[in-house]
Amino acid sequence: MKNSNRHILRFIASMTISASDIRKIKQYIEVANVTVDPLASTLITPLFVGTQSLKMAQELVDEGKAVYFDSGGYYVQVGRLKYEELYIPLLENYRRNQWATLYTLPDQVPTSQDSPETVAFKVSNTIAHSTMFFHEMPDVLKPRAMPVVQGHNYEQIDQCLQAYINLGVHWIGFGSFGTSGAKSEVNIATQSSIELARYVINIAHDHGIKVHLFGLGTPALIAMIYGIGADSFDSTTWLKSAGFGQIFMPFTRSYNITYRNTVSTYQKGIPMTEFEELKQFTQHSCGLCNDLSGLQKIKMYRAVHNLVVMAESIQMINTGDLEQIQRIYENGSIKYRGEFEKWLSN
181 has pLDDT over 50 = no
CATH code of 148's domain: 3.20.20.105
- The reply to whether 79 and 158 lie within a common domain is yes
- 262-307 residue pLDDT tens: 455 555 678 888 888 999 989 999 999 999 999 999 999 999 999 9
- 216-245 residue pLDDT tens: 878 999 999 999 999 999 999 999 999 999
- 72 in any annotated domain: yes
- 1 in any annotated domain: no
- 114-131 residue pLDDT tens: 899 999 999 999 999 999
- The reply to whether 73 and 181 lie within a common domain is yes
Residue 1: predicted pLDDT: 44
Alpha-carbon distances, residue 208 vs 39, 111, 168, 211, 228 (angstroms): 27, 29, 10, 10, 16
Neighbours of 276 (CB within 10 A): 13
β pairing state of 66-69 and 102-104: parallel
- The reply to whether 139 and 19 lie within a common domain is yes
Residue 268: predicted pLDDT: 60
Q: Which of 190, 205, 240 is a domain's end point?
A: 240
Residue 3: predicted pLDDT: 47
The number of domains in the chain is 2
- 1-19 residue pLDDT tens: 444 457 999 999 999 899 9
Half-sphere exposure of 271 (CA within 13 A, CB side): 3
- The reply to whether 259 and 304 lie within a common domain is yes
Listed range (267-276, 303-312, 324-333) with the worst mean pLDDT: 267-276
Q: pTM for the full model?
A: 0.91
| Structural domain span for residue 271 | 246-343
- 3 in any annotated domain: no
Q: Sorting pLDDT into bands at 50, 70 and 90, what band is 258? A: confident
| CA-CA-CA-CA torsion sign (94, 237, 281, 320) | negative
Residue 260: predicted pLDDT: 53
Q: Sorting pLDDT into bands at 50, 70 and 90, what band is 84? A: confident
Give the Cα-Cα-Cα angle 320, 254, 237 (nearest 5 degrees): 85
Q: Which of 240, 260, 279 is a domain's end point?
A: 240
- The reply to whether 311 and 229 lie within a common domain is no
Neighbours of 98 (CB within 10 A): 12
| CA-CA-CA-CA torsion sign (19, 21, 22, 23) | positive
81 has pLDDT over 90 = no
Q: Which of 210, 240, 270 is a domain's end point?
A: 240
Contact 275, 255 (CB under 8 A): yes
